Amino acid sequence: MNKTIALTLTLCSALLVAPLALASDRAEYGWEMIEQGAMVVDVRTPGEFDDGHLSGAVNYPVTELDRHIQNLDKDTPLVLYCRSGVRSGAAYQYLLSKGFTNLHNAGGFEEMKNAK
């Protein structure tokens, strides 16, 4: 019984730590892309953007991406971020469906700030 509990705790710990490692990796890769010239797109609301954003980022809220898509070049690398990575994930999927291929969901704003 103790081995089962220990194994369960180990698996639970791994599941909790794995997303953190992935979040760190995706933020670091986002910075690599930015340093190589990628366009930075903050898909949060204008209010969230006004409260703080990455230097050089443009604010194209995910709910308004269809209005801003003409401002994006399908060949330009894009780094997307939001508060947690959920909205940037949705933006990633939307842009992918519109033919964009050089995209990266860098996750959340705090992750990005802490990875720099």
Of 104, 45, 100, the residue nearest 71 (C-alpha)? 100
Q: Which of 43, 82, 106, 115 is catalytic?
A: 82
Q: How far apart are CA 54 and CA 40, in angstroms?
A: 8
Is residue 82 flagged as an active site residue? Answer: yes
Where in the sequence numbering do the catalytic residues fall?
82
